[in-house]
Structure 1
Amino acid sequence: MSRTKNQTKRSTIRRMTSRSNTAIVGCLLTLLHLITPMQGLTHSVFTFTNASTSFGQLVTSSTLVWETYEDPKQLQFAVEGGKFITEDEHYPIYVCRVVIDGVPTSGHTEKVQQKHVCVAALAKRSVNQHFDVLMNKGHLGKIAWKPWRKFNVGIPVGAIRVGDDTYVARHRAQHDTSDGAQHGADYYLGRLEQVGLGKIKVVENGMEKYYDDGELLIETEPFRYELRDIKLDGGRITMRENSTELATGKLENRGDTYDTVEMVMSYSFDYMQYWGAHDGVAKGLPTKIFEKNVDTPAEINWALKHGEKRRENKAVYSKLWPGTAINVTLRGNYVTLDSPYSAKLSAFYYDSESVSRLINAEVRKSYLKDVKMEFSPVYWIENGTVVPTTTTTSTTSTTTHATTTINNEPTPINEPPQVRIEHMGVKHSGPDSLEKTLNDANNEVNSNDAPENMSSKDAALAGIGVSGQSGATTITTATGALFTYLIVTLINL
């Protein structure tokens, strides 16, 4: 009877413990969901460009995306279209897009009972809770609202497309209030429809309205980038070295006297650099990399690996006795360096000043350094046997002697020969420029001061003002720690 009671008690304790552990895991998962950054599905953004004087075509934007809205945290990179003002609130509204009856339609976000909805230019179904938001990731895309009138010829270059022959547009709101104060949105966002000379269609006070003028959202693409002020994260650098055989050769003396012989040894190696990718930075765009203490900047295409074959020549010398030879091998350390870094990225445009931002990315470089020579003992060319050596040493110098056998052949009893190596031509191997900066404390990222996007004086950049870099870093760190704790908890259950 006592055993039965004990078993029942243990069973009850196990069930209580199980329920407690389940509750703990549930809380951890809920907390993880709350602190993990939300990111919805993304869709390409197309902009208009001139293909000739008569025709145009659409190209994929390299800096903007449509992202499915899931959480207010996403709006840190959303493209701002205006302000919404009430007696109690003053908040930005953003460019949004919904698909209604198969038609992509643009509008603006508003808050309805603390939830964001998309007010689009179709009156019967104007408020939508499932929508996309136009994102300018990293705030690196240069976008601006530019005036438009129906008498303008054609679509401006860089106009952002919503659907078939429609483009993101807005019209300034006119609020008639007795007290003169503005209430509601300062702009109504909608779309430009190419009907006749064109019309801007918006939702205004719950009704569809057309206007002959307004503003179009235009993206200006840069034509090149520059990367400067590069700082490595010294605590997260990894370097892998692999000893590599570069070339082999043979020095031989087929003459009749003790003489100097030489040869040229050639080899090649792959030099590779990859400076990572970043939201809002156009993949493949020409980029100059200005590294510290490097006279000529490297030229790459952003977010693409840049590789080149580099060649070097070495002259090898040694004095040898007649009929002898020595084998020579050149070896080097092939290094792969990986490191997170911060740097200032500048984007250059044809029609305006450059714009700069601090970015975080990861760099990888593969290069060759520490080229050294290995050589074999001296051996007879005729039979490959090693030549015996002896040494006579005084207090001031090492002397070398040779004797003559009955066959009048020299039998060296000298020290191993002094083999020398000299570089010829341009030298490409050696410690990389990044490796040389590792001992420079001023060239390392301070982990306590993660860089954020720089403020800009260029008013053409929409959506500037909130940076997600340092916050994202903090959230990522917290998420990693929580994952570790969650795993440990699950194992101990």
Structure 2
Amino acid sequence: MEIHKKDRKVRRAVFTKNANELEVLLSAADKSARSIKLTWEVVQQKYSDLQIVDEKVYELLLETDADEKELAEEMEIRDTYLKKYTNLRLKVEESSLDNDIHSEHSANSRATVPGSKARQLVESYPAMQENYSKIIDSLKARFGRDDILIEVYVRELLKLILSNAMAQDKMDISTLHDKIESHLRALETLGITKNNCASMLFPLIESCLPENLLRAWQRSAQYSFEEPRENELEEESQDILVHTVDKPVYVCRARINSVWVSGQLRPKKSACVVSLYKKVSEYNQFEVLVSIEKSSRLSWVYKNKYTLISEGAVTSGENILKTYIARRSANSHNKDGSLTYNVGKFTPSENLGVFHLVDQNNNELQFEDGEILVETEPIAYELKSIKLERFRGRFPRTQKKLGEAVLKNEEDVLQHVASVISYKYNYSLFWGKGHGLLTGLPFTVTLPNGTHVKGQWAVPKEELKSEVAPVEKYLEAGTAVNVTLMGNYTESEIPYNATVVAIYKDGEKKEIEIRDTKREKIVSDVIALYDPVYFLHNNSHVPTTTTTTAATTSGTTSTTFKTSTPQEIASEIPTSHKTVDKNNKLSNHEDNHNILSDDQNVDRQNSSEKKPDVPAKPDGACSIGMFSSVTILAVSLVLLRVT
């Protein structure tokens, strides 16, 4: 306990120091909004830290059986710091409000033309908070005729559309879009919203667009876009609904003087009901809280002034005074329109936390306890049930040289020469991001073949891969061949459907259906290209192998040559290794005929199986054949001479 008390003493001193600095800034004649905001942020943080230590000390006092007097003194001291903090908060709010009033008054002055009647009217009022609303009312009464303003903006819009439709040089799309949007926003401030006049504005704007743009728009998937139906919005907001007796109520927020305030969107209403400074208002411009793709795990957690704010509590927005989305059970009378829960905000900086809620009669209610909306974030994802749509994929390929090698046979006999070519490339794999999923969480992909790949969600997996490819060749003695390794660098994009399983710390799992694109960069179709075989001693190509056959006709003798390329010679596989006899060219010539490829050996074996057994020729068969040819040739010459 002594350690906590010492820690609290230091924190109280730091809080008091920063609080005094803030009071000096607030009381200064020339106030600096930036300095006030910065110091106020520090004071908030210091007070929040002090509250945590105060809670620890109070719990330790209860455990040590402290008497009531000591506990009461502890609470009185805490109330002193609370009052000081609350007083500062009210001063900051008043200072911010004054700055807004003065800035808005000066903005009104700048928005009017110097010397005009409107400027004279604005300058006739002193720059005071009470006069701001009077200035606005006077300007509206004299110059704010909505019917005339609507007519002016509609005429300007029609003039813009017609002039662009009839002009030969069309206005560029971005400029046309900006001008139309400015007129539509002006009409919207006067109550003419896009939803009310879309059926009229759409064909007018469409008529001034270029023909090629219209064709592209009509072919797009968004051409038949429809607004989400009520049941679709209910599905996306299912976890955060606050029901009436028979219909759902949605959580919404509206921006008031740069401050986001959470409220409720009731059935058959087009306005967000919020409360600020004990005043309940309805705002037509608002945002609805939805769970994107139903990917969030949301729950309502009980909170009072003695419990800490749960981790993952959903805030109303990035405000100086942070508030949270809250609700509390209502005393429903089972009447039409009665709320089962009152929705609003929870302000932790006010009196250890106060719930500001709105009932069905638009009355603000304040409570010390209620429920806060909390989002529980997963700790990991699992991607499974992947269905790739390859027929819709893209596979752009770029041919790339991966490496080179030289195969040499420096021996005196035929050799089977083998080697490997190593190459590197940048590999990348990206499964997309999805909607409503957290970036950087660890995830596991279960591929269709059953293998598992790990990574970080929505972060591309990139690495420098090293691969090797074997190359081999049968080479004659003293020959070599150059080998080039080629491949296709493919950047594929394949759409897919899958199921993402969100895994939470408590063991619960939530399945989310997603549709995204798998992007992968990889080298494929690797092939080795062999150049012509050459001799090592002079780098000349190995000559082609020829076989000569003689054919005799009635008066002529013809010779036919059968040639083969050097690649075919080098790729032939011998049936048996024979020693090269440099003195016997015939034996060397016969060896060349015995060098066959694997496919040739298979074809030769199959053909030999089909043919009947033929007795082997004797060793002198070659000489007999040559003698017969010479004899036939001599007889032919004799016959020619006789005839």
Normalised to the residue count of structure 1, the TM-score between the two structures is 0.63
Structure 2 counterpart of 1:188, from 324, 329, 342: 342
- Give 2:330's aligned residue: 173
- Are the aligned partners of 2:407 and 2:481 in contact in 1 as well (CA < 8 Å)? yes
The structural deviation recorded for 1:346 is: 0.1
Distance (whole Å) between structure 2 residues aligned to residue 319 and residue 276 of structure 1 = 48
Q: Structure 2 counterpart of 1:168, which letter? A: I
- Give 1:341's aligned residue: 496
Asked whether 1:357 is paired with 2:546, we answer no
Structure 1 counterpart of 2:309, from 147, 155, 159: 155
Distance (whole Å) between structure 1 residues aligned to residue 231 and residue 255 of structure 2 = 21
Q: Structure 2 counterpart of 1:369, which letter? A: S
Structure 1 residues 200 and 124, CA gap change in structure 2 (3 angstroms):
closer
Structure 2 counterpart of 1:225, from 371, 374, 381: 381
Runs of 5+ unmatched residues, structure 2: 1-164, 167-199, 208-216, 550-572, 599-643
Q: Which has the higher contact order (CA 8 A, sep 6+)?
A: 1
Distance (whole Å) between structure 2 residues aligned to residue 268 and residue 174 of structure 1 = 71
Structure 1 residues 317 and 417, CA gap change in structure 2 (3 angstroms):
farther
Q: Structure 2 counterpart of 1:174, which letter? A: N
The structural deviation recorded for 1:249 is: 0.2
Distance (whole Å) between structure 2 residues aligned to residue 386 and residue 294 of structure 1 = 51
The structural deviation recorded for 1:105 is: 1.0
Q: Structure 2 counterpart of 1:293, which letter? A: N
Q: Structure 2 counterpart of 1:192, which letter? A: F
The structural deviation recorded for 1:368 is: 2.6
Deviations 1:156-184 (A, max 9, x none): 10111123331111111113x4xx54642
- Are the aligned partners of 1:378 and 1:416 in contact in 2 as well (CA < 8 Å)? no
Q: CA RMSD in A?
A: 3.9
- Give 1:380's aligned residue: 535
Asked whether 1:81 is paired with 2:258, we answer no
Distance (whole Å) between structure 2 residues aligned to residue 245 and residue 418 of structure 1 = 30
Aligned-residue sequence identity (percent) comes to 30
The structural deviation recorded for 1:279 is: 1.1
The structural deviation recorded for 1:301 is: 1.7
- Are the aligned partners of 1:38 and 1:71 in contact in 2 as well (CA < 8 Å)? no
The structural deviation recorded for 1:264 is: 2.5
SS in 2 for 1:121: strand
Structure 1 residues 34 and 253, CA gap change in structure 2 (3 angstroms):
closer
The structural deviation recorded for 1:405 is: 8.1
The structural deviation recorded for 1:192 is: 1.1
Structure 2 counterpart of 1:255, from 394, 399, 411: 411
The structural deviation recorded for 1:135 is: 2.4
SS in 2 for 1:329: strand
- Give 1:121's aligned residue: 275
Of structures 1 and 2, the larger Rg is shown by: 2
Q: Which aligned pairs between 1:234-249 and structure 2 lie closer than 5 A?
A: 234-249=390-405
Structure 2 counterpart of 1:200, from 336, 347, 355: 355
- Are the aligned partners of 2:500 and 2:514 in contact in 1 as well (CA < 8 Å)? yes
Distance (whole Å) between structure 2 residues aligned to residue 104 and residue 133 of structure 1 = 12
Distance (whole Å) between structure 2 residues aligned to residue 34 and residue 383 of structure 1 = 72
Structure 1 residues 150 and 381, CA gap change in structure 2 (3 angstroms):
same
- Are the aligned partners of 1:321 and 1:412 in contact in 2 as well (CA < 8 Å)? no
SS in 1 for 2:331: coil
Structure 2 counterpart of 1:279, from 422, 435, 447: 435
- Give 1:12's aligned residue: none
Q: Structure 1 counterpart of 2:425, which letter? A: F
Structure 2 counterpart of 1:91, from 225, 247, 254: 247
- Are the aligned partners of 1:167 and 1:216 in contact in 2 as well (CA < 8 Å)? yes
Distance (whole Å) between structure 2 residues aligned to residue 214 and residue 318 of structure 1 = 81
Runs of 5+ unmatched residues, structure 1: 1-17, 40-69, 421-493
**Higher helix content, 1 or 2:** 2
- Give 2:203's aligned residue: 26
SS in 2 for 1:135: coil
The structural deviation recorded for 1:214 is: 1.1
- Give 2:426's aligned residue: 270
Distance (whole Å) between structure 2 residues aligned to residue 366 and residue 360 of structure 1 = 20
Distance (whole Å) between structure 2 residues aligned to residue 138 and residue 146 of structure 1 = 23
SS in 1 for 2:436: coil
Structure 2 counterpart of 1:36, from 210, 225, 235: 225
Asked whether 1:298 is paired with 2:453, we answer yes
Structure 1 residues 140 and 80, CA gap change in structure 2 (3 angstroms):
same
The structural deviation recorded for 1:151 is: 1.7
**Higher strand content, 1 or 2:** 1
Normalised to the residue count of structure 2, the TM-score between the two structures is 0.49
Distance (whole Å) between structure 2 residues aligned to residue 352 and residue 95 of structure 1 = 28
Distance (whole Å) between structure 1 residues aligned to residue 247 and residue 391 of structure 2 = 40
The structural deviation recorded for 1:385 is: 1.3
Distance (whole Å) between structure 1 residues aligned to residue 283 and residue 435 of structure 2 = 28
- Give 1:11's aligned residue: none
Distance (whole Å) between structure 2 residues aligned to residue 416 and residue 268 of structure 1 = 39
- Give 1:475's aligned residue: none
SS in 2 for 1:126: strand
- Give 2:295's aligned residue: 140
Structure 1 residues 264 and 168, CA gap change in structure 2 (3 angstroms):
same
